[in-house]
Structure 1
């Protein structure tokens, strides 16, 4: 099941909770003691920064699975989200050893950058999102000029999310999937986990056939809404199909487009025909998949510079900015991003 630690950080007692959660996530992933210590250090520094520089915030800690053919432990992802004043001088904050608070460990965000397998942050006057991933087998690579990332948050700080996302590769095909098990809790998580397992077995197939295979596999579960996007990296073509209430937005050539899923439930009420949408994938393209925990009318980021950041930072920023006290989340929420590698064009 998709284990997630969602920890509000509004007083110093929660810093220890964040560190313990990071260590527990590493234990679950099978990460060695050295990298577990690095994760605990990064988690503690990020949580401390939330208190000292943002007036509090939220830490979301979870696992990022690698495709099964890679046969290596999952990475642990630490995400800090806040609505603080932002970081005035990001370059200074990223220098190793930099700290502006006596209460900080003095490790600084620069140390988080150095000890993480991947680290990125995005900061504006609306707040800061920082993501650290600890992967004991080194740096990450998805495919030619491609990156993926996401965030998954359970309803009401539950231990498990009924949503799941994953990616896999089969030859020139890179496939990303997001599943939302009906309801929430353990049975919803079982449905979405079943969809993940079936994708790994069927990634060589076209998207409509992948969904049909998932429908058969999920008939023993309560069912799920599922969307699958597959990029042919040789031909530069993205194909998309979804069944159920999964949202999708594609950014390319300066504009956003909705990719619409078909009504139904994978595992229960499957359509006779699954519409497949094909789009050209360019060097600036970015795809966002999300479950219905995110408001359907969320507004895409106006700051295009955000899209050059780590896809997990993009996903977490979208999740943070789409929610509000006036519109409380009523379900698990998952956001996944597939992006062309624009990191060399970062501001």
Structure 2
């Protein structure tokens, strides 16, 4: 994971180099690596020119595998976050070739065209969040809205404390029949050992996503015993039954938005794998076409404000996650722990 503040021109090269490193980790070929570097450089340049600075967060992400399937090679995810003036006309800004005189000449339209996934959300006076994912296949192979069966979408952002090499947080989501399971894990403490605990939870989820959230937690409790343990929350949407089932242990926050109302989902205190697991309550609530679920680790302040923009739920879930992370902290109020936000959204797109 790479978290790069962009407040002067020297940082643009840092973003470029970090993107090349991430591409190498993901196993991208030379052409897709060059595309990733171009997109990252354009996003960083825009932060300086139009927002007075911001940050680029780079993660490796996987598309949701089927339960029991071998994970596919990851993509490079680039997130751009700023508290700048925002974009007055997003449609014009995303037009291919639209640029300013001193930019690369690529423009956000080129990012939209060359990335496998690209989305942007901006509010004048509040700032802009953009996400781009670059994978192994060309952008022409992307699956567009309307070309696949409706299903929940998921996305996340994960930022280590103080830009450390490891984050103790990890997330994953898996499809199994008519069910989609989203999990967020926060390894106890910080650093490599915390990352081992949360990473173990991610690996195990691929094998047990067909189970109920409670049974998944019981399985993880056994598998995480050799590790430090982790706080874990599991949310499972049954698309056929239109129901969300949630169970959690530890300090993972959860809020569900449906019909203009935010509802907290509560976890049981404890650490999965480290202590005897008490009875864990299971919550079942309806999952509607406008539902939006946000899970977050305790790196976010306890009293963060959910986004109020009704159009945000139609954006890429990683954009929603990044907007929550951006608005929860600032340079004057830095985050005090590894911070991750995972979002599950209905398949409603614009």
Q: Distance in 1 between matches of 2:35 and 2:283?
A: 43
1:197 Cα offset (Å): 0.9
Q: Distance in 2 between matches of 1:334 and 1:143?
A: 28
**Counterpart for residue 338 of structure 1:** 344
Contact 1:243/1:270 (8 A) holds in 2: no
Q: Does 1:77 align with 2:77?
A: yes
Q: Does 1:64 align with 2:61?
A: yes
CA RMSD in angstroms, aligned pairs only: 1.4
**Counterpart for residue 19 of structure 1:** 16
**Counterpart for residue 108 of structure 1:** 107
Contact 2:292/2:343 (8 A) holds in 1: yes
Q: Does 1:275 align with 2:275?
A: no
Within a 5 Å distance, the mapping from 1:168-183 to structure 2 comes to 168-183=174-189
What are the superposed Cα offsets for residues 170-208 of structure 1, whole Å, 9 maximum, x if unpaired?
Answer: 111110000000111100000000000111111010000
Q: Does 1:91 align with 2:91?
A: yes
Unaligned residue ranges in structure 1 (runs of 5+): none
Aligned counterpart for 2:298 among listed residues 276, 292, 295: 292
**TM-score relative to the length of structure 2:** 0.94
Q: Does 1:118 align with 2:117?
A: yes
**Counterpart for residue 50 of structure 1:** 47
**Counterpart for residue 233 of structure 1:** 239
Count of matched residue positions in the alignment of Structure 1 and Structure 2: 340
Unaligned residue ranges in structure 2 (runs of 5+): none
What are the superposed Cα offsets for residues 15-43 of structure 1, whole Å, 9 maximum, x if unpaired?
Answer: 11101111111110111211111101100
**Counterpart for residue 316 of structure 1:** 322
Q: Distance in 1 between matches of 2:259 and 2:52?
A: 38
**TM-score relative to the length of structure 1:** 0.95
Which stretches of structure 1, 4 residues or more, deviate above 3 A after TM superposition? 140-143, 324-327
Q: Distance in 2 between matches of 1:233 and 1:155?
A: 36
Q: Distance in 2 between matches of 1:336 and 1:71?
A: 19
Q: Summarize the Cα distance change of 1:159–1:341 in structure 2 as closer, same or farther, 3 Å threshold.
A: same
Contact 1:67/1:200 (8 A) holds in 2: no
Q: Distance in 2 between matches of 1:186 and 1:119?
A: 31
Contact 2:62/2:71 (8 A) holds in 1: no
3-state SS of paired residue (2:225): helix
Aligned counterpart for 1:10 among listed residues 2, 7, 28: 7
Within a 5 Å distance, the mapping from 1:232-251 to structure 2 comes to 232-251=238-257
Contact 1:312/1:336 (8 A) holds in 2: yes
3-state SS of paired residue (1:288): strand
Q: Distance in 2 between matches of 1:287 and 1:101?
A: 41
Contact 2:220/2:273 (8 A) holds in 1: yes
Q: Summarize the Cα distance change of 1:270–1:126 in structure 2 as closer, same or farther, 3 Å threshold.
A: farther
1:323 Cα offset (Å): 1.0
Within a 5 Å distance, the mapping from 1:34-49 to structure 2 comes to 34-49=31-46
